[in-house]
Amino acid sequence: EVQLVESGGGLVKPGGSLRISCAASGFTFSAFSMNWFRQAPGKGLEWVAFISSTSSFIHYTDSVKGRFTISRDNAKNSLYLEMNSLRVEDTAVYYCAKDDPFSGPYPKWFDSWGQGTQVTVSS
């Protein structure tokens, strides 16, 4: 059974930093591209970042470019999101999700999701 478990969320002040993680199990992590999404309170879904299976292709939504870094450690079956210069508007539940096995250089669809981790940016 595919399992994705996010961790590392919390309360941080504006301008601060946080690293969230996603532990994967139940599938061959190194063969799949992965994504981060977020959902602000009462709002819709927003894609944040994509990383291909070997980290060769990485994409970000415009609002986080230069502030967030997606990375992965295939030996540890883990996905990460390093978030710097955090803003109040980054407050959201952050989800990791597994991509289609043949996604190539860009995302296709997201067939398994974690339960999410809350990131709150507030003074």
Partner 1 sequence: QSVLTQPPSVSAAPGQKVTMSCSGSSSNIGSNFVSWYQQFPRTAPKLLIYDADKRPSGIPDRFSGSKSGTSATLDITGLQSGDEAVYFCATWDSSLQVVLFGGGTKVTVL
Q: Which residues bind partner 1 (CB under 8 A)?
A: 35, 44-47, 50, 59, 61-62, 95, 100, 106-116
Judged by beta carbon, residue 16 or residue 46, the one nearer partner 1 is: 46
In the complex, the smallest distance separating the C-beta of residue 20 from partner 1, rounded to whole angstroms, is 15
Tally Cβ neighbours within 10 Å of residue 41: 9
In the complex, the smallest distance separating the C-beta of residue 27 from partner 1, rounded to whole angstroms, is 14
Judged by beta carbon, residue 75 or residue 109, the one nearer partner 1 is: 109
Judged by beta carbon, residue 61 or residue 74, the one nearer partner 1 is: 61
CA 74 to chain centre: 15
In the complex, the smallest distance separating the C-beta of residue 61 from partner 1, rounded to whole angstroms, is 5
Q: Distance between CA 42 and CA 110 in Å, rounded?
A: 21
In the complex, the smallest distance separating the C-beta of residue 94 from partner 1, rounded to whole angstroms, is 11
Q: Distance between CA 31 and CA 49 in Å, rounded?
A: 18
